[in-house]
Amino acid sequence: MRSSDYRAAARKSLEGQWGTFALLMLSSGILSMLVAGGIGSIFGSDNSFVSTLTELLLTFAFGYGIFYASLYAVRGGKAEVGMIFSIFNGGRYLPLLLVNLVEWLVGLISSFVLALPFIGILGFGVISTMLLTGGSGNLVSSVVGFGGFSAIALLTLLFVVIIAGVGTLVDGYFQIVVLIRLDFPEMKLGDVFSYAFTLLKGRLW
């Protein structure tokens, strides 16, 4: 199927359900803010560690609930706003929690690995310049002396573009993983990850 065919099928599935999905999106945002705000009021709203845990362990489920409703609509069903809580039912929470944690780890590791060359280039520039100047000058002047602001800006832009591209691929892959798990709840998680790669073969590589 072509991309236009998928879009046409999606529009057909959403006929008469646009309002429901608008409410689902709105509910997801409101519930996420309420949960994050409630936990933040207990542990401190400026606690980034608690905010990250809240998103990783709880509020992710509302987004996945929209996935469940979407899949239900594609299969010919009529979505309901209550499906925003569907991940907490039917034994779905723990497997999808694991998927969410794996996605977070993959994103963290890939960002770190992609950042290494960028950090290495800047570090090389700082060390080289400081050796040539006998260690005089500050860090900013050392970096600028190596390549100038234009070179640093170009490297930063390149880094941001690469990180965004990889992040999009990772996010897309894990969305497929979530949909497969929701569609085939009896499938083991290892098989779900493998099947997602199988579906992507010939489309991305």
Q: With a cut of 70, which residues of the chain have pLDDT below it?
A: 1-6, 45, 121-152, 203-205
Whole-number pLDDT of residue 82: 95
Q: Could you identify the residue written with the tokens 């963290």?
A: 108
Q: How far apart are CA 29 and CA 36, in angstroms?
A: 11
User: Each residue of 7-57: pLDDT tens digit?
Assistant: 777 778 788 899 999 999 999 999 999 999 898 888 876 778 888 899 999
pTM score, two decimals? 0.79
Helix axes 60-74, 18-43, angle to 10 degrees: 170
What number of CA atoms fall less than 13 Å from residue 193's CA on the CB side? 10
The pLDDT assigned to 146 comes to 47
